[in-house]
Amino acid sequence: MSAHALDKDLDAVAVSARAELVREIGLSGAWDTDPRWREVFAAVPRHLFVPYYYVGSADGRGEDRLWRDSPDPHTRERWLRGVYTDGPLATRLRDGELLSSSSQPSLMARMLAELRVTDGDRVLEIGAGTGYNAALLAHRLGDDHVTTIDLDPEITDCARAHLADAGHHPTVITGDGARGAPEHAPYDRVIATCALPTIPRAWLPQCTPGARVLAPLATGLITLTVHDGTHAEGTFLDTAAYFVPLRGAEPSVRGEIPHTPGDHELLRFLLTLTHGVLDPGEARDLWEREGRPGRERYGVTVTGDGAWAWLDDPESPHTWPLR
């Protein structure tokens, strides 16, 4: 097959691969609570947002870049098929460190469904990434209802270009996501696509009463209801979530946590949530004593004085300040 014929065939590959990805996400149950997201994922082409990504090299000594404009047509097909797998894609590296990625589509779908948007909602996204998540939101709610922010101007420039290629023009801001985007407030929903060390209090005054906040925290996903400009509270979802840390905040602490072979993943969640506050041995004893609780038994409260996590109830004896 000629290179031209293969490239022409890639259009058909993209259509069928996207349909298969949508089917796979559906089987995961990610959008059972809001089936309208199925139509959105079917309509928005992921490959427009990931012109290249990195995979482990064959010799295991580094990364290879798969890209849309490779001179090798077979590499272009490999790139395209990889885009439509249900997995995260490393999109930006610096000295071997992952700076940005396109998240696993089924996890994105779960998060968007749990955001519980309704028509007319205004959404702030923290972490623009490739622009794909903003495009999904914009397709559902309209461009003028979506604002996305990232600290890195290279990331926001690329996200803006990818969004335009897909026919979307939401507000894209270069700035510190921990401070929100007050110039475009108020927001009915806030969603973060980067791991946080705590919930920034600056977000709360930018939200409408009853707004919903969803953010990765301590290898989990916290969902908060904003009661007013100084008070929000909610619980974790039961799913695990691992994201690139929010830049401008403290570095991720996951690597500093003592690890014992055989540690249960849910114990690791508690160790991460209480890192720097609770001794790891104490945390292990608490976890065993309380019946090895899952993520959904933990919650977070945010007030004007700070933020803290708790087990089972905000008035529980088991509470820990978030750093």
Cβ atoms of residues 54 and 65 within 8 Å: yes
Cis peptide bond prior to 186, omega within 30° of 0: yes
CB 214 within 8 A of CB 234: no
DSSP string, 219-264: TEEEEEEEEETTEEEEEE-SS----PBPBTBPPP-GGGS---TT--
* Chain position carrying tokens 């940005």: 100
Q: What is the 3-state secondary structure (H, E, C) of 166-199?
A: CCCCCEEEECCHHHCCHHHCCEEEEEECCEECCC
Closest CA to 219 of 240, 248, 189: 240
**3-state secondary structure (DSSP) of residue 275:** coil
List, by residue number, the catalytic residues. 100
